[in-house]
Structure 1
């Protein structure tokens, strides 16, 4: 569980709600149906127009990573790679076949299977790098869905503010309707700017950092598998891969 994401979201809510109360208003003042429709539904509509269906669905499958990112254990992976290297030196690459069949991670299983099949180091690198590039590109497209929402929502907030002021101007002769129009104008701006800076953009950046961490982890695995294919000494492989560990 990513505690910082939970704490950050809580701080954002406290900042907005607490600020409203501290300014002498009420929490209920932040709710306005017209502003919600203009900003939230409008932002969603604009995002749907620019995004392919697979990417949009993938973005929301990735969203839980903000609070519970995929578990990565680089030290444990290095130990496994060194073990595979020792097996390959004692039993040959075919000795890894059983490990390959029992491996749950598709990327790891594919790499081990390539080793078992006797793929040349350069061929193994090219195949796995192609998979990595495609995976990274698709994941980053998913993260950018939230970035797009963060770009659109402030603009929709401005549109909501203008529409609220238009309603005010059309009802100058009816003072009872002025308050509703002005409220919609200000609340729409809060929705647009607040959602962008406290939710959409932070979510996008967090997902990008998770994607980068996964790619670094898989790159480490790739280098280890290539080193095994090249017949490097297990100790040298371990020393090389330790350079990927951060902190």
Structure 2
């Protein structure tokens, strides 16, 4: 679990609400159902228009990565690759065949299968780099969806504020309703700006960081498999792969 994400969201809420209270405001003034509906509904609608359904569905599924990211320990991955290398040296490449069905990562399983099938090292690299590039591109598009939503939300918040001010202008004959009406109108702007800068854009950046880490782990694995295919010494493979730990 990513504790920093939870702490960040909690701190953002405390900062906004606490600052409002310190200025003499009331919690009730921050709750406005109509502003909430306009900002959330409008932002969601814009993202639906922008994205294909598979991409939108995947983006919603990736939200859990903000709190429970699928981090791959690189040192443990290196140890596993070295084990594969030692096994291949002792038993030949066919000795790795029994490991394929126990491999949970489809990318690793496919690389191992090509290795066992006797594919040339450069053929393995070429095929797996294509898959890695396609996967990374798709995952980054899901992250950019939240980035785009972070761009829509403030503008839709302004739209909500303008709609609220229209209602205020229609009630100019009743001065007692002007103050509360204007305050309620600007709540939509608070929702839009807050949602964008405290939730959506940070979520997009966190997802990008997770995706970069996943790609790095896949690149490390691919480098190790290609080295095994070339018949390199397990010790040399380990030394080379440990260079990834410095990044």
TM score, norm. by length of structure 1: 0.97
Instruction: Note if contact 2:136-2:211 (Cα within 8 Å) is conserved in structure 1.
Output: yes
| Residue 234 (structure 1) aligns with | 234
Equivalent residue runs for 1:29-108 within 5 Å: 29-108=29-108
Instruction: Note if contact 1:34-1:184 (Cα within 8 Å) is conserved in structure 2.
Output: no
Query: C-alpha distance in 2, partners of 1:103/1:195?
Result: 40
Query: C-alpha distance in 2, partners of 1:34/1:178?
Result: 17
* Structure 1 alignment gaps of length 5 or more: none
Equivalent residue runs for 1:113-124 within 5 Å: 113-124=113-124
Quote how far apart the aligned CAs of 1:181 are. 2.7
Query: C-alpha distance in 1, partners of 2:180/2:50?
Result: 33
Quote how far apart the aligned CAs of 1:71 are. 3.0
| Residue 209 (structure 1) aligns with | 209
| Residue 22 (structure 1) aligns with | 22
| Residue 174 (structure 2) aligns with | 174
Query: C-alpha distance in 2, partners of 1:103/1:38?
Result: 47
| Residue 224 (structure 1) aligns with | 224
| Residue 163 (structure 1) aligns with | 163
Instruction: Note if contact 1:69-1:210 (Cα within 8 Å) is conserved in structure 2.
Output: yes
* Aligned pairs, number: 247
Query: C-alpha distance in 2, partners of 1:246/1:189?
Result: 43
Q: Deviations over 1:5-25 (max 9, x none)?
A: 011001100011101111111
Equivalent residue runs for 1:123-138 within 5 Å: 123-138=123-138
| Residue 244 (structure 2) aligns with | 244
Quote how far apart the aligned CAs of 1:178 are. 2.2
Q: Deviations over 1:9-49 (max 9, x none)?
A: 01100011101111111111101112112111111111111
Quote how far apart the aligned CAs of 1:122 are. 0.8
SS in 1 for 2:72: coil
Q: Deviations over 1:44-100 (max 9, x none)?
A: 111111011001110011001101100311111111111111111121111110111
* Structure 2 alignment gaps of length 5 or more: none
Query: C-alpha distance in 2, partners of 1:74/1:200?
Result: 28
Q: Deviations over 1:195-232 (max 9, x none)?
A: 00000000000000000000001100000000001111
Query: C-alpha distance in 2, partners of 1:41/1:179?
Result: 26
| Residue 140 (structure 2) aligns with | 140
Moved more, 180-189 or 134-143: 180-189
Query: C-alpha distance in 2, partners of 1:215/1:32?
Result: 42
Moved more, 207-216 or 183-192: 183-192
SS in 1 for 2:25: coil
Quote how far apart the aligned CAs of 1:246 are. 3.7
SS in 1 for 2:209: helix
Query: C-alpha distance in 2, partners of 1:144/1:103?
Result: 30
